Amino acid sequence: MVFQDAISAVNPRKTVREILREPMRHLLSLTKAQQLARASDMLRAVDLDNSVLDKRPPQLSGGQLQRVCLARALSVEPQLLILDEAVSNLDLVLQAGVIGLLKKLQRQFGTACLFITHDLRLVERFCQRVMVMDEGKIVETQVVGDKLTFSSHAGRVLQNAVLPAFPVRRNKV
């Protein structure tokens, strides 16, 4: 699982090396050398290099730390990767980069993703199917196509909350 707030999802006192090894120690039968090799492979998969292995979370940018969290989640070869608002704390440039990276990783590892978000623009760029929830229940489901249109109240509220891609200019009177 990859959370919205990467800094809260990791122990700030541990190095990236320790952060990446932890789930492998508990969930995979790998030697320490194999864990380190896999950590290195996962960093490369998320476009980071081994120079971050001995750094601690406060020494990384938000985008780097989010990619470390993604590498950690992928290191145990999950069939399903849950991304809970995983890019919402990133600026638009970093969001686009992480979404592109997620698409690449999905193809590379064949991992299914459950992408939890309130941002329909991200849904349109990354998802194949959308489910709208209201008070913990799925109220609508549809395949992502050219234009998302919702019949449920919750879906329309979500759709109306989407900001335009570019600010609308208004003529001065």
Name the average pLDDT for the chain. Answer: 87
Mean pLDDT, residues 73-79: 92
Examine the pLDDT at 127 and tell me if it is beyond 80.
Answer: yes
For the chain, the distance separating the N- and C-terminal CA atoms, rounded to the nearest angstrom, is 51
pLDDT 10s digits, 99-121: 888 888 888 888 899 989 888 88
Examine the pLDDT at 170 and tell me if it is beyond 60.
Answer: no
Domains, in order of start, for the chain: 6-126 (3.40.50.300), 128-163 (no CATH)
Class of residue 168 by CB neighbours under 10 A (exposed 0-12, middle 13-18, buried 19+): exposed
pLDDT 10s digits, 14-69: 999 999 999 999 999 999 999 999 999 999 988 899 999 999 999 999 889 999 99
Class of residue 65 by CB neighbours under 10 A (exposed 0-12, middle 13-18, buried 19+): buried
Examine the pLDDT at 150 and tell me if it is beyond 50.
Answer: yes
Q: What is the pLDDT of residue 72?
A: 96
Residue 85: what residue type?
Answer: E
Q: Which segment, 5-19, 89-103, 127-141, is predicted with the most confidence on average? A: 5-19
